[in-house]
């Protein structure tokens, strides 16, 4: 039997295990929107740790991370930097959001913001911004899964088919069990991808160069520019410091603003679990160390690979590894992709229904759940279309999404910490910031010092939010205290 057939069988076994875990996860969950979207607010520390870590580190880390280390060198270190910086504020913000969400029965990010800043238009705007940012992120995951399967089956299972099969599995368990499936499959997949990443990260430098030290000695002698910050651009030119630092800043600002991460505050059993998750999160960041080592291991071994995102599967297939190791690698890469993709699909559909449609059209619980399931399929279909047709780098896709999603940070901070913020100011700021970020994306030559377009958006967003808030009537203090003061002993004011 051909090697690729054995590998395909191992992939099938992994997908079957994931499907079983996902389907069983929903048992015991209530048949309500609260159960499908927020897991009945009952996630423990283990699930929160892995759902946060596995959701953050996706196909972009397992494939794009080695790809950037291989082709752009030190530029990849921005990925290591922003995770810790971006998660730290959640130690303060997360428990506040969870407390408010539990009291007001909130399940989405826009529900939280429109509870403080009542406006159907704002809800729809947040839903639009979120979906615009989430679709490229889902595309990244689907494409990553297809890349891995196509590579390890030597092209016998093409990208389009591999992506279709793996995300067909994701759709089945997310549609069946909702966020509970996301939580339990992420726990399984998170453990799996950490083990595989460390095994490969230590083995490949040893097999190809005689160890990590000798590997870097070779790179310093032949390609020292790869180990000099801030690294290179995709064209091989030195990356500007403005681009490098703004990539870290925009990613750190946007990290916990992603709806699929923000919404997990509403799933935690209590606030201590959120704080402990933040404290433990840097330990999950260690997953990136072997990921980068894998990329660097390919620098001297594979001088000119046309598609850097393929460096990890390329090395796996050319180091004469046992078939079982090749199969486990594939499962680890699929874990990275699927553990984020399922959360993204779930969040995209939940946001679209709960924030984009329900404020304008009252729906029953059953109608909401049914429509969320329909839109999960629609979001998956749109992302799949882009995944099999686009050729952008996985990391570039992610950075593009961050520029838009980071525009949700000023409204969240204002909701929790600034009593003078108004609905009009938040709406105006969000519109101006998102528009500026999109303008910067389509006109990169207008960004000085290689600045990320998301930073340009925030430079426009924040002054507009401040100015319009001061020019419009302040909100009633009795309403503001529900969000600003640490203890929510006040009675809920119905809007």
Domain assignments of the chain as residue spans, ordered by start:
18-403
- Other beta carbons within 10 Å of 237: 9
Mean pLDDT lowest among 182-186, 250-254, 321-325: 321-325
Q: 71-84 burial, b if ≥16 CB within 10 A, otherwise e?
A: bbbbbbbbbbbbbe
Residue 406 has pLDDT above 80, yes or no: yes
pLDDT value of residue 48: 85
Residue 396 has pLDDT above 70, yes or no: no
Distances from the Cα of 397 to the Cα of 63, 144, 155, 201, angstroms: 13, 11, 24, 24
Identify the band that residue 33 occupies on the pLDDT scale cut at 50, 70 and 90. confident
Structure tokens, 444? 């990169």
Rounded to an integer, the average pLDDT of 327-340 is 79
C-beta of residue 412 within 8 angstroms of C-beta of residue 164: no
Distances from the Cα of 151 to the Cα of 147, 161, 309, 314, angstroms: 6, 12, 11, 7
Identify the band that residue 392 occupies on the pLDDT scale cut at 50, 70 and 90. low
pLDDT value of residue 371: 92
pLDDT value of residue 423: 96
Residue 495 has pLDDT above 50, yes or no: no
Angle at 262 between CA 350 and CA 389, to 5 degrees: 60
Residue 332 has pLDDT above 80, yes or no: no
Q: Which CATH number describes the domain made up of 18-403?
A: 1.20.1730.10
Residue 397 has pLDDT above 80, yes or no: no
pLDDT value of residue 475: 95
Structure tokens, 331? 């499962």
pLDDT value of residue 391: 59
The per-residue pLDDT of the chain, averaged, comes to 86
Rounded to an integer, the average pLDDT of 163-175 is 88
Residue 22 has pLDDT above 90, yes or no: no
pLDDT digit string (tens) for 428-438? 999 999 999 98
Rounded to an integer, the average pLDDT of 50-67 is 78
pLDDT value of residue 426: 96
Structure tokens, 338? 């699927």
Beta bridge partners of 394: none
pLDDT value of residue 411: 96
Residue 478 has pLDDT above 60, yes or no: yes
Rounded to an integer, the average pLDDT of 443-452 is 83
C-beta of residue 345 within 8 angstroms of C-beta of residue 138: yes
Rounded to an integer, the average pLDDT of 311-327 is 81
Residue 491 has pLDDT above 50, yes or no: no
pLDDT digit string (tens) for 249-305? 998 998 889 888 898 888 888 889 999 999 998 888 888 899 999 999 999 999 888
Q: 26-53 burial, b if ≥16 CB within 10 A, otherwise e?
A: beebeeebbbbbbbbbbbebebbbbbbb
**The dihedral formed by the CA atoms of 473, 478, 480 and 484, expressed in degrees to the nearest 10:** 150
Residue 493 has pLDDT above 50, yes or no: no
Residue 404 has pLDDT above 70, yes or no: yes
């Amino acid at each position: 039997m051909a090697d690729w057939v054995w590998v395909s069988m191992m992939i099938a076994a992994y997908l079957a295990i994931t499907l079983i875990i996902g389907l069983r996860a929903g048992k015991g969950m209530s048949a309500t929107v609260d159960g499908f979207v927020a897991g009945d607010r009952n996630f423990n520390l283990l699930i929160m740790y892995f759902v946060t870590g596995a959701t953050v580190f996706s196909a972009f880390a397992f494939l794009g991370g080695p790809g950037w280390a291989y082709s752009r060198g030190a530029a990849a270190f921005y990925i290591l930097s922003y995770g810790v910086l971006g998660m730290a504020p959640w130690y303060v913000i997360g428990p506040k959001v969870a407390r408010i969400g539990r009291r007001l029965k909130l399940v989405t990010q826009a529900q939280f913001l429109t509870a403080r800043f009542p406006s159907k238009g704002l809800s729809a705007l947040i839903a639009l911004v979120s979906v615009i940012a989430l679709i490229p992120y889902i595309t990244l995951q689907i494409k990553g899964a297809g890349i891995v399967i196509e590579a390890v089956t030597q092209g016998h299972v093409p990208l389009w088919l591999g992506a279709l099969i793996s995300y067909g599995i994701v759709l089945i368990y997310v549609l069946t069990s909702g966020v509970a499936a996301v939580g339990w499959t992420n726990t399984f997949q998170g453990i799996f991808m950490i083990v595989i990443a460390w095994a490969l990260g230590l083995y490949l430098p040893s097999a190809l160069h005689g160890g990590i030290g000798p590997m870097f000695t070779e790179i310093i002698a032949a390609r020292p520019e790869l180990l000099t910050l801030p690294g290179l651009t995709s064209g091989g030119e030195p990356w500007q410091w403005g681009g490098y630092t703004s990539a870290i800043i925009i990613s750190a600002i946007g990290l916990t603003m992603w709806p699929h991460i923000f919404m997990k505050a509403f799933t935690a059993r209590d606030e201590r679990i959120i704080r402990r998750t933040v404290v433990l999160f840097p330990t999950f960041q260690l997953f990136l160390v072997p990921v980068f080592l894998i990329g660097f291991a390919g620098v001297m071994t594979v001088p000119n690979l046309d598609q850097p995102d393929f460096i990890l599967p390329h090395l796996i297939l050319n180091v004469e590894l046992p078939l079982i190791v090749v199969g486990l690698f594939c499962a680890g890469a699929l874990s990275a992709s699927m553990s984020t993709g399922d959360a993204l699909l779930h969040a995209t559909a939940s946001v679209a229904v709960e924030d984009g449609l329900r404020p304008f059209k009252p729906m029953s619980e059953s109608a909401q759940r049914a429509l969320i399931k329909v839109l999960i399929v629609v979001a998956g279909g749109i992302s799949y279309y882009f995944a099999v047709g686009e050729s952008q780098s996985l990391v570039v896709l992610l950075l593009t999404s961050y520029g838009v999603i980071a525009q949700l940070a000023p409204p969240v901070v204002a909701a929790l910490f600034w009593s003078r913020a108004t609905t009009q100011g938040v709406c105006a700021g969000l519109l101006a910031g998102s528009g500026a970020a999109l303008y910067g994306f389509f006109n990169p030559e207008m960004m000085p010092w290689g600045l990320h377009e998301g930073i340009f958006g925030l430079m426009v967003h924040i002054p507009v939010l401040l100015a319009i808030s001061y020019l419009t009537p302040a909100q009633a203090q009795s309403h503001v205290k529900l969000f600003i003061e640490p203890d929510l002993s006040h009675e809920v004011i119905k809007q």
